[in-house]
């Protein structure tokens, strides 16, 4: 390997293996029969080991060092910088550790599924304990300053630290909590219309129309059902979403599908010619989440969006919705009240759910609490922050898939993404002529085009805070989310 083309070919080979892994993971969560679990864990582990060996290949490292000193274009330089950073980090892992982690994650996921189905945390706890032990080892392998959790956060939101996150979540505590209490003391809107019987197949068909309206390319993707909605991609021309259907709760599929559609649009917007390269990869999970939250909340929970789409929903469910107005539906979808399940939470109390997980993860990785303590700690925090008594493990500590995947450090990016989303959408309204009128007539293309230009096309060519400043003129600022929330909910709840 001596040239930039050799570098691209090697990156493409690594991507091929990693996307093959993604196919196996997607199938495991969507279609795999129960008895396939044993060999699937082994298959995933083997491929993860191969991908790691390619990532730390000595000749590849020598090529990266060589190219870092050559006269390249700005995009090529950035690709090499990011790849060299990833190479040096990958070298900190042994193949044996990567395979052990991959195998443990596959087994943990199966244990989590069974535990959630049987509402029994003790089924999951032993595998989770193994996983937490490995994640603590990973922190030591990677190295960190100040707090071991920093090593894991950096994997999902590069350069973010516990110090930064503490500031952000203090804003949530000091500014968002009082506002939610103000809403709680106001006259409450009625959301009973969301809880009638809604046929599963009709729900799926309707959300596929919403995805298509957003610009999701079904020739480069598909929507399926999973226990926990997610988006996965095998390159920009194969990006798949899953959703969750509850025939007695219309909320679940609407926000799941729109949310995952936002993730998918980001992946479909990456440039095909940058396959396998940093320029063809998403920037950070916070930025990724900004795309899903922008579509789900700033667009999907807006009055103007449903001015166009509610009458189409009425046509599908005429008996249930025919006698309601768009305003009735808008109020019903924007109820603010404490709830048990993070993925079903409203867009304000949602951040209390994330705060709880952040505080637990930080302590768990530091060793301040142990796996055995999690149900007790979880339930205590839900009572403290949301004044909710958790009735069961499945609705409590087992509700999220993330820990079974070993995704510690992931949860904070949900709030980071929501705050980025408000800031980006605020800027889009300034730059796109009559944006909300376009949304109101069902034309979402101007917004997607803006996101493609400002965010999607750049891949990892900029740092997250650098990209935010480039787009909005400032780094992430919580005030944009708070201003958006107050403007919207003051009106919805007739506050001052």
Query: Is 152 domain-assigned?
Result: no
Please tell me the distance from the alpha carbon of residue 205 to that of residue 211, in angstroms, as a whole number: 10
Rounded Cα gap, residues 310 and 332, in angstroms: 12
Residue 226 lies in a domain: yes
Instruction: Say if residue 194 is in the same domain as residue 67.
Output: no
CA dihedral in degrees (361, 366, 372, 376; nearest 10)? -50
Say which of 82, 130, 260, 347 is annotated catalytic.
Answer: 260
202/232 same-domain check: yes
Backbone angles phi, psi at 234, to 5 degrees: -120, 35
Same domain, 52 and 193: no
User: Cβ of 383: how many Cβ atoms within 10 Å?
Assistant: 12
Instruction: Give percent of the chain above pLDDT 70.
Output: 100
Q: Both 89 and 198 in a single domain? A: no
**260 and 332 together in one domain:** yes
Q: In this predicted structure, what is the pLDDT of residue 373?
A: 96
pTM above threshold 0.85? yes
* C-alpha–C-alpha distance, residues 245 and 253, integer Å: 5
User: In this structure, is residue 153 part of a structural domain?
Assistant: no
Contact 356, 385 (CB under 8 A): yes
Residue 362 is assigned to a structural domain of this protein:
yes
Same domain, 130 and 173: no
Show which of 143, 177, 202 is a domain's final residue.
143
What's the angle, vertex CA 375, arms to CA 371 and CA 380, rounded to 5?
125
Q: What is d(CA 340, CA 375) in angstroms, rounded to the nearest whole number? A: 14
Q: Do 87 and 29 have their domain in common?
A: yes
Hunting for tokens 């805070």 — which residue is that?
465
- Characterize the bridge pairing of strands 231-233 and 239-243: antiparallel
Whether 404 contacts 108, CB under 8 Å = yes
Q: Does 188 fall in a domain?
A: yes
pLDDT at site 421: 98
Q: How far apart are CA 417 and CA 489, in angstroms?
A: 20
Distance CA 98, CA 100 (A): 5
Q: Name the domain count of the chain.
A: 2
Torsion of CA 210, 212, 216, 220, to 10 degrees: 130
Residue 134: CB atoms within 10 A of its CB come to 17
Q: Which two tokens stand for residue 88?
A: 């040096």
Q: Tell me how far apart the alpha carbons of residues 332 and 335 are, in angstroms, rounded to a whole number.
A: 6
Domain final position from 108, 143, 178: 143
Q: Which residue has the tokens 């750049």?
A: 458
Residue 328's pLDDT is 97
Q: What is the pLDDT of residue 344?
A: 82
Which residues of the chain have a pLDDT value below 70?
none
For residues 226 and 343, state if they share a domain: yes
CA dihedral (277, 278, 280, 286) positive or negative: positive
Last residue of a domain, one of 109, 143, 177: 143
Integer angstrom CA distances of residue 225 from 29, 68, 166, 200, 229 = 9, 44, 35, 11, 7
* Whether 329 contacts 321, CB under 8 Å: yes
What range does the domain containing 372 cover?
162-492
Q: Is residue 150, in this structure, part of any structural domain at all? A: no
Task: Give the pLDDT of residue 305.
Answer: 98
Taking only Cα atoms into account, the Rg of the chain, rounded to an integer number of angstroms, comes to: 22
Give the integer Cα–Cα distance in Å for 464 and 212.
28
Domain check: are 72 and 195 in the same one? no
Residues 289 and 229 in one domain: yes
Residue 34's pLDDT is 85
Q: What's the CA gap between 128 and 142, in Å, rounded?
A: 21
The verdict on residue 157 lying in a domain is no
Instruction: Report the alpha-carbon distance of residue 12 to residue 29 in Å, rounded.
Output: 26
pLDDT (tens digit, 9 = 90+) per residue, 90-139?
A: 999 998 998 999 899 989 999 999 999 999 999 999 999 999 999 999 99
Per-residue confidence (pLDDT) for residue 343, from 0 to 100: 83
Q: Is residue 220 part of a domain?
A: yes
- 342 and 449 share one domain: yes
Q: Is-catalytic flag, 260? A: yes
- For every residue of the chain, which 3-state class applies, written as one string? CCCHHHHHHHHHHHHHHHHHHHHHHHHHHHCCCHHHHHHHHHHHHHHHHHHHHHHCCHHHHHHHHHHCCCCCCHHHHHHHHHHHHHHHHHCCCCHHHHHHHHHHHHHHHHHHHHHHHHCCHHHHHHHHHHHHHHHHHHHHHHCCCCCCHHHHHHHHCCCCCHHHHHHHHHHHHHHHHHHHHHHHCCCCCCCHHHHCCCCHHHHHHHHHHHHHHHCCCHHHCCEEECCCCCEEECCCCCEEEEECCCCCCHHHHHHHHHHHHHHHHHHHCCCHHHCCCHHHCCCCHHHHHHHHHHHHHHHCCCHHHHHHHHHHHHHHCHHHHCCCCHHHHHHHHCCCCCCCCHHHCCCCCHHHHHHHHHHHHHHHHHCCCCHHHHHHHHHHHHHHHHCCCCCCCCCCCCCCCHHHHCCCCCCHHHHHHHHHHHHHHHHHHHHCCCHHHHHHCCCCHHHHHHHHHHCHHHCCCCCHHHHHHHHHCCCCCHHHHHHHHHHHHHHHCCCC
Q: What is the pLDDT of residues 133-167, one digit of tens each?
A: 999 999 999 999 999 999 999 999 999 999 999 99
Residues 216, 123, single domain; the answer is no
User: Which CATH number goes with the domain that contains 463?
Assistant: 1.10.1370.30
Phi, psi angle pair for 225, to nearest 5°: -105, 140
């Amino acid at each position: 390997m001596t040239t930039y083309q050799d570098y691209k070919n090697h990156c493409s080979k690594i991507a091929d293996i990693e996307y093959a892994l993604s196919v196996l993971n997607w199938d495991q969560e969507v279609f795999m029969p129960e008895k396939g679990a044993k060999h699937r864990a082994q298959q995933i582990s083997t491929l993860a080991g191969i991908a790691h060996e390619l990532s730390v290949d000595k000749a590849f490292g020598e090529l990266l060092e060589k190219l870092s000193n050559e006269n390249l274009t700005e995009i090529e330089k950035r690709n090499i910088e990011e790849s060299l950073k990833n190479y040096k980090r990958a070298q900190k892992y042994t193949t044996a550790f990567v395979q052990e982690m991959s195998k443990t994650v596959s087994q943990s996921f199966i244990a989590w599924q069974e535990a959630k189905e049987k509402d029994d945390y003790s089924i999951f706890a032993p595998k989770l304990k193994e996983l937490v032990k490995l994640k603590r080892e990973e922190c030591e392998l990677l190295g960190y300053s100040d707090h071991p959790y920093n090593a894991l956060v950096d994997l999902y939101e590069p350069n973010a630290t516990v110090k930064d996150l503490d500031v952000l979540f203090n804003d949530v505590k000091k500014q968002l909590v009082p506002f939610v209490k103000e809403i709680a003391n106001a006259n409450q809107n009625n959301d009973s219309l969301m809880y009638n019987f809604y046929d599963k197949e009709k729900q799926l068909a309707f959300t596929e129309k919403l995805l298509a309206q957003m610009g999701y390319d079904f020739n480069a993707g598909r929507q399926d059902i999973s226990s926990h909605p997610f988006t996965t991609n095998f390159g920009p021309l194969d990006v798949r979403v899953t959703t969750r259907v509850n025939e007695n709760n219309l909320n679940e599929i609407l926000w799941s599908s729109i949310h995952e559609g936002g993730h998918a649009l980001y992946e479909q917007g990456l440039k095909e010619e940058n396959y396998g390269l940093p320029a063809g990869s998403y920037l950070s999970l916070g930025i990724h989440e900004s795309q899903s939250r922008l579509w789900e909340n700033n667009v999907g929970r807006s009055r103007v969006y449903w001015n166009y789409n509610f009458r189409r929903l009425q046509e599908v469910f005429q008996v249930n919705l025919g006698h309601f107005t768009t305003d009735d539906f808008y109020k019903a979808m924007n109820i603010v009240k404490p709830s048990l399940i993070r993925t079903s939470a409203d867009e304000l109390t949602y951040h209390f759910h994330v705060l709880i997980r952040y505080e637990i993860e930080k302590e768990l990785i530091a060793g301040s609490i142990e796996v055995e303590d999690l149900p007790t700690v979880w339930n205590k925090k839900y009572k403290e922050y949301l004044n909710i008594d958790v009735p069961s493990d499945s609705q409590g500590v087992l509700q999220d898939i993330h820990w079974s995947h070993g995704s510690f450090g992931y949860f904070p990016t949900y709030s980071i993404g929501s705050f980025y989303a408000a800031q980006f959408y605020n800027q889009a309204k300034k730059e796109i002529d009559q944006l909300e009128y376009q949304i109101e007539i069902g034309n979402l293309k101007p917004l997607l085009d803006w996101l493609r230009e400002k965010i999607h096309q750049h891949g990892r060519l900029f740092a997250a805070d650098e990209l935010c400043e480039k787009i909005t003129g400032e780094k992430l600022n919580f005030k944009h989310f708070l201003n958006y929330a107050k403007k919207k909910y003051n009106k919805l709840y007739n506050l001052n």
